[in-house]
Amino acid sequence: MRRIRPDTALMLSRSSVGRWRRSLIVCATAMLAAASVTSTVRAQGAASAVTAPAYTFQQVMIPTRDGVKLNTVIFAPKDQREPLPFMFIRTPYGAPGEKFPLAMAYPELAAARYIFVMQDIRGRYLSEGQFVMQRPPRIVDGPGPRVDESTDAWDSIDWLLAHVPNHNGRVGMMGVSYPGWTTAMAMLDPHPALAAVSPQASPADMWIGDDFHHNGAFRLSYGFEYAAMMETSKENENFAFDTYDTYDWYLKLGSLANVNAKYLKGKIPTWNDFAAHPNYDGFWQRQAMQSYLTRVTVPTLNVAGWWDQEDFYGPVHIYRTLEKHDARANNFLVVGPWNHGGWRREGRALGKIDFGALTGADFRATIEAPFFAKYLKGTGDYVPAEATVFESGSNTWRTFTAWPPKEAVTKALYFQANGVLSFSAPTSTGNDNFVSDPAHPVPYRNRPIEPTYFPKGSGWPAWLTEDQRFVKDRPDVLTWVTEPLADDLVLAGDVTAKLQVSTSGGDADWIVKLIDVYPEEYAPNTKLGGYELMVANDVFRSRFRESLERPKAMVPNQVTPITIDLHTQSYRFRKGHRVMVQLQSTWFPLIDRNPQTWVPNIFEAKASDFKAQTHRVWRTPTQASRVEIQVVP
């Protein structure tokens, strides 16, 4: 949820070179390298130059209601001739200094002239107070803390209105990832001047579907490295691995109990929370946004990327939850062919996959900038679409009056004998099985697996578009595939795996991947012949199949239904391509190793608890394992 994003570009202008080198710089560096003070973007298919004015700089400490002061920087156009709205960004990654290249990070918005305000949240960098990872919202009329990210935003806006001259009384907020989440928190109980928000790649639930867990399965490499980076000091501090291939390092680590025993020594609060709260208890439920999303308070532009390696669940979940309360049609969704924060760059390609257009620049010029101009300045004739999604495969933008589309219908892709995948239900009884050995887990991407945030060139940002053929010869990966498609298959909506499984042990993880298999002879790019592009995926930990709060062991060798939300997609499987489903039980070290024997808390598992087990996936007329997809004509 929180790492290098456009907002992490905020770190690039800090005066301390040492501090800069310790920051999460991978994505920010790529973004700034691709930009210039005068950026060229494509707006509605036509190229146009975007030139930003010069900005003044001011640094202040804004007091909050409990006396804590927050470091805040203010950029205002030097040639300002009329009252302007504020564009407010709250970040844990370091507010920038005077030489921050505003026109590089936000070319369209900088050219449109706003009073930019960027602030260190409490306890980070130069702000006072204590940092709390994803601080839960306060109970307005109950016991507990009287401050949260919403009150800090409110108090800061109040101060800005009173102390910054020549504004028009309107404030917009935006941000990617953690700054997207602080934006979403500010809209829960908004200041009256808050007129429009765009939470981008914001997490919504850190146990069900965002950074730290997916359906109860712990995201080991990300959770460990992020917690250590954020809580070693007030600034970003990357953990010092002594092994380049972190697959080896995490495997040698053994049980998660060794993290504190050997390395963190109980000094990282978030890691301690992981170990103390392995289930979906009150700790995680208080952080989750769903119960707080009871009204649409201001116009809201939710932004997500189809291949977001960190927070895809969050922004779509926020949109869909708010949509239940959107009586005034002020809640909107945009999803493009991006990784985490990829829309802040050009967005032409991700890994080896080319999308045929500058999709990030398109979004910023034709959606984001007009959205804020409409609600903060009252200018332009922009009419937001309810849902704007990029259909990869055909590489076109599409708009819908709802997401998923009302016209979408559900089809099932059934697992058959001999690795066949088809739209027909099985007529015979059988199963496919494999041995899953925690001592030899399936890597989640091609090795070597570098640390998440460094060195330069880490495969983390684009791993979701990697060719999945790297696991094709693993005996612990099952595969089913269709014949070449006779016509295009247009996926538009939800993807759900409905499995019938059994295991010889007491617990198991199930990872399901929906894949587009390119033809061996692929004329648009011969180097992509046979490419296996992952379109949707996720993991489910069996112990939570009946209750997220109260885990339960599997009954050995008993066929058990497991449903896995593979989220949502807009994707066109082209004629001649094939549809593939892969299934496995390890995805290491992205997901921690399941011992596959029953232990109440995997963070306390002993080495002897980890045992190889045989897993079976059943395909019978009455117990048909399948992946259900929503499609449109």
What are the pLDDT digits (tens) for 333-378? 999 999 999 999 999 999 999 999 999 999 999 999 999 999 999 9
pLDDT-derived band at 144 (thresholds 50, 70, 90) equals low
Q: Using alpha carbons only, what angle is made at residue 309 by residues 304 and 310, rounded to the nearest 5 degrees? A: 75
CATH of domain 409-631: 2.60.120.260
User: Could you tell me the residue ranges of all domains in the chain?
Assistant: 6-131+146-204+289-400, 213-285, 409-631
Distance CA 141, CA 172 (A): 27
N-terminal to C-terminal alpha carbon distance within the chain: 35
| CA dihedral sign of residues 265, 267, 271, 277 | positive
DSSP readout, 203-247? -S-TTTTSSSEETTEEBHHHHHHHHHHHHSSSS------S-SSHH
Residue 554 pLDDT > 50, yes or no? yes
Residue count (the chain): 633
- Token output for 197: 């928000």
What percent of the chain has pLDDT above 70? 91
Tell me, what DSSP letter sits at residue 314?
Answer: H
Residue matched to tokens 């807009």:
570
Contact by Cβ (8 Å): 10, 95? yes
Strands 167-176 and 84-91: parallel
Dihedral angle of Cα 117, 197, 494, 596, to the nearest 10 degrees:
50
pLDDT, tens digit (0-9, with 9 covering 90-100), for 26-64: 333 333 333 322 232 333 333 345 677 899 999 999 999
Identify whether the C-beta of residue 615 lies closer than 8 Å to the C-beta of residue 501. yes
Task: Work out the average pLDDT over 410-428.
Answer: 97
What pLDDT sits at residue 633? 87
Q: What is the pTM of this model?
A: 0.92
CA dist 528 and 352 (Å) reads 8
Quick one: pLDDT band at residue 3, thresholds 50, 70, 90?
Answer: very low
Quick one: pLDDT at residue 571? 98
Amino acid letter for position 9: A
What are 377-398's pLDDT values in tens digits? 999 999 999 999 999 999 999 9
Residues 6 or more apart from 489 whose CB is under 8 A from it? 572, 573, 579, 631
Each residue's pLDDT tens digit, 225-256: 999 999 999 999 999 999 999 999 999 999 99
Query: At CA 366, angle to CA 180 and CA 56, rounded to 5?
Result: 65
State whether the Cα torsion 369-375-381-385 is positive or negative.
positive
* CATH class of segment(s) 213-285: mainly alpha
One-letter amino acid at 51 equals T
Neighbours of 252 (CB within 10 A): 9
Q: Could you tell me which of 135, 132, 158, 159 has the C-alpha nearest to residue 61?
A: 159
Is 90 exceeded by the pLDDT of residue 2?
A: no
Q: Which CATH class is domain 6-131+146-204+289-400?
A: alpha beta
Q: What are phi and psi for residue 391, nearest 5 degrees?
A: -90, 95
CA pair distance 53, 45, nearest whole angstrom: 25
For a pLDDT cut of 90, what percent of the chain falls above it? 89
